[in-house]
Amino acid sequence: MYKKHKMFFTLFLFTCSIAQAQLSVNIWVANNRLKQDLWKIHTLSNHHKNLPFSQLKPLVWFQNHPLSGWFTITFQDSSSYVNWLQQNKEKIQSIEPVKNFKLHTYNDPDIPKQYHHELIKTFEAHTITKGQGVIIGIIDTGIDFFHEDLQGQMFINDAEDINGNGKFDFWSKDSIVNGVSGDLDGIDQDGNGYGDDVIGYDFTDQPRLLGGGDYLFEDPVPYDDNQHGTLVAGIIGAKANNQKGGVGIAPESKLMILRAFAASGNGEDDDIARAIVYAADNGVQILNFSFGDIYPSQIMHAAIQYAYSKRVTMVGSAGNGTGDNPHYPSGFEEVISVSASMFQNNREFLWPLSSYGGTVDLCAPGAAIYTTTLTDSTNRNAHNEFSGTSTSAPMVSAAAALLKSIYPNLSPIQIKGILTSTAQDIQNPGWDYFTGDSRISNSS
Ligand SMILES: [Ca+2]
Ligand SMILES: [Ca+2]
Ligand SMILES: [Ca+2]
Ligand SMILES: [Ca+2]
């Protein structure tokens, strides 16, 4: 008799040196002598040696202009600035450091809590793309589809959205809830082998495992009763400009919800494999795996190789093991493996609990990441901070989606190549054992 051997994987809920900067100042010089000296330096800068500044730029390009006294000077370092200022301060009307202004693109109140956007330059990327047209599959514990910052952010399978309202209405077609009939009719309208799969599917069937909540049978309602999937979804795709919460890194991508983990945080490799194949067959371009363990499951690897052959870019968390033990699926060569960084006292470095080692490709922020979490009766539309490679992997998935939305034909290997070559070194130059090719940046 066929005996089922299943492995199960545990979710990673808990889930990089900076050179001394030059100093730039804007000055207003009223003193004619100093003004002429600066103009001379500006005009003849290539012939001056031993200057304390590396760059001098006038505001206007004509010496007889009313604003010709304004210059921006970049000093090699703070001590050359102090020395120069000592000698010239009497001749200067105004001096202040060059200030950085930000675009007020979004009205989401919690953006200041999402420090990772500044590190990975999310908003610079958003001037070009927000991930439009890309479907990202999230294999996880499902999603809180009631959350106000996630509503409207999910992929919709139009054929199964039988009431045609562009939303997932997870009750029977014969029931009316708030004046709306449901999308569930038990019929597989699009003939893909799954009935009523409007936003994805719940692949969990874990009779072998002890659990709580929804874990015994697969069904079309991938609701999150853990919180893990909801926090991952928010990092990738929380709604932008809705005056609520924060902002996802690819807020105009569409999230396909592939539930393969139950409330207990356990997921079996056959359920994960089915979710991967479903994703590859139903239009997913990017797949996020914020989970893993030491087992190189063959059924999961077969599914991953199939998805890879269909040009799906897969991103996995490197693990929270503080070491370099084997870890899968991130350790499979088809998967981009992501470690986690933390940011403290203006420095970014490897998060102390992050796994690292030879299979790690990239690093992304993964400590105290502010994102959506499970809504419950006392805390609707909740947010919280989470740490771990479960939070860093979705940043890379979202970055891959931004690339894919501009260049739809990129292959997984090309996406990996672009992300690793545009990453910013936060530990050692080039690839290193701890952060891979270093921390992603969306500025490219
Ligand atoms: Ca509907
Ligand atoms: Ca179907
Ligand atoms: Ca149906
Ligand atoms: Ca928002």
DSSP assignment of 248-266 equals -SSTTSEEEEEE---TTSE
Task: Domain of residue 356: give its range.
Answer: 111-155+199-421
Q: How far is the CA of 165 from the centre of ligand 1 (A)?
A: 5
| Cα 113 to ligand 4 centre (Å) | 12
Q: What is the pLDDT of residue 52?
A: 80
Interhelix angle 412-421/389-406, rounded to 10 degrees, is: 110
Distance 158 CA to ligand 4 centre (A): 25
Q: How far is the CA of 198 from the centre of ligand 3 (A)?
A: 8
CA 194–ligand 3 middle distance (angstroms): 8
Same domain (yes/no): 390, 244: yes
**Which is more confidently placed, 437 or 364?**
364
Ligand (nearest to CA of 157) = 2
Mean pLDDT confidence for 236-246: 97
Cα 166 to ligand 1 centre (Å): 5
Give the span between the Cα atoms of 124 and 115, in whole angstroms. Answer: 14
> Between the CA of residue 275 and those of 168, 278, 281, what are the distances in Å?
19, 5, 10
Query: Is 32 a domain residue?
Result: yes
Decide if 428 is inside a domain: no
pTM over 0.85: no
57 and 150 together in one domain: no
Split at pLDDT 50, 70, 90, the class of 98 is confident
Nearest alpha-carbon partner for 292 in 263, 258, 335: 335
- 236 with 285, same domain: the answer is yes
Ion ligand 2 neighbours, Cβ < 5 Å: 188, 190, 192, 194, 197
Query: Are 8 and 127 contained in the same domain?
Result: no
CA of 201, nearest ligand number? 2
Q: Is residue 238 part of a domain?
A: yes
Do residues 68 and 214 both lie within one domain?
A: no
- CB-CB neighbours of 270 under 10 Å: 20
pLDDT digits (tens, 9 = 90+) for 116-136: 999 999 998 998 899 999 999
145 in the same domain as 54: no
C-alpha 121 to ligand 4 mean position (Å): 17
Dump pLDDT digits (tens) for 274-290: 999 999 999 999 999 99
Residues 129, 93, single domain; the answer is no
Contact partners, residue 429, CB within 8 Å, separation at least 6: none
Chain centroid offset of residue 392 CA:
7
Q: 205 pLDDT exceeds 80? A: yes
Q: 251 C-alpha vs ligand 4 centroid, how far in Å?
A: 9
Ligand with the closest atom to the CA of 183 = 1
* Peptide bond connecting 329 to the previous residue in cis, omega within 30 degrees of 0: yes
Give the pLDDT confidence of 300-341 residue by residue, as tens digits.
999 999 999 999 999 999 999 888 888 999 999 999 999 999
Query: 185-199, 230-244, 307-321, 343-357: lowest mean pLDDT where?
Result: 343-357
Neighbours of ion ligand 3 (CB under 5 A): 160, 185, 187, 189, 196
**Which two tokens mark 65?**
């202009």
Cα 191 to ligand 3 centre (Å): 9
- pLDDT per residue as tens digits for the range 5-62: 333 343 433 223 233 578 899 999 988 999 999 998 888 765 556 778 888 999 998 8
For residues 412 and 83, the model is more confident at 412
Please check whether residue 444 lies inside any domain of the structure: no
Of the bound ligands, which one is closest to the alpha carbon of residue 282?
2
Q: Are residues 328 and 387 in the same domain?
A: yes
**Tokens 């530990």 found at:** 427
405 — phi, psi (to 5°)? -70, -30
Same domain? For 337 and 370 the reply is yes
Looking at the chain, the whole-number percentage of residues with pLDDT higher than 90 is: 67
**What pLDDT score was predicted for residue 430?**
64
Asked whether the predicted pLDDT for residue 73 surpasses 70, the reply is yes
Say what the pLDDT of residue 17 is.
Answer: 27
Q: Which amino acid type is present at position 261?
A: F
Verify that 92 and 30 share a domain, yes or no. Answer: yes
Q: How far is the CA of 167 from the centre of ligand 1 (A)?
A: 4
Pair (210, 326) in one structural domain: yes
CA distances from 32 to 48, 75, 103, 383, 398 (A): 20, 22, 37, 57, 54
Per the prediction, the chain carries an average pLDDT of 89
Distance in Å, CA 197 to ligand 2 centroid: 5
User: What integer is the mean pLDDT of 388-406?
Assistant: 96
In a domain, 304, yes or no: yes
| pLDDT of amino acid 47 | 57
Give residue 283 CA to ligand 3 midpoint distance, Å: 18
The position carrying tokens 């299979």 is 359
For the cut 50, the answer to whether the pLDDT of residue 106 exceeds it is yes
> Does 440 fall in a domain?
no
Question: Based on the structure, what is the number of domains in the chain?
Answer: 2
Q: Write down the pLDDT at residue 432.
A: 63
Distance from residue 108's CA to the centre of ligand 1 (Å): 27
126 and 9 in a common domain: no
The residues, any chain, with a CB within 8 Å of residue 139's CB and separated by 6 or more, are 258, 260, 261, 272, 275, 276, 279, 287, 288, 289, 291
Looking at the DSSP bridge assignments, the partners of residue 289 are 139, 316
Give the domain CATH number at 122: 3.40.50.200
Contact present, 256 and 135 (Cβ < 8 Å) = yes
Radius of gyration of the chain (CA): 26
Q: Is residue 191 part of a domain?
A: no
- Classify 119 in phi/psi space as left (phi over 0), alpha (psi -120 to 50) or beta: alpha
pLDDT at 97: 85
The CATH number for 39's domain is 3.30.70
Alpha-carbon distance values, 341 to 119, 303, 357, 388, 394 (Å): 11, 30, 14, 9, 13
Please give the pLDDT value at position 323. 82
In a domain, 168, yes or no: no
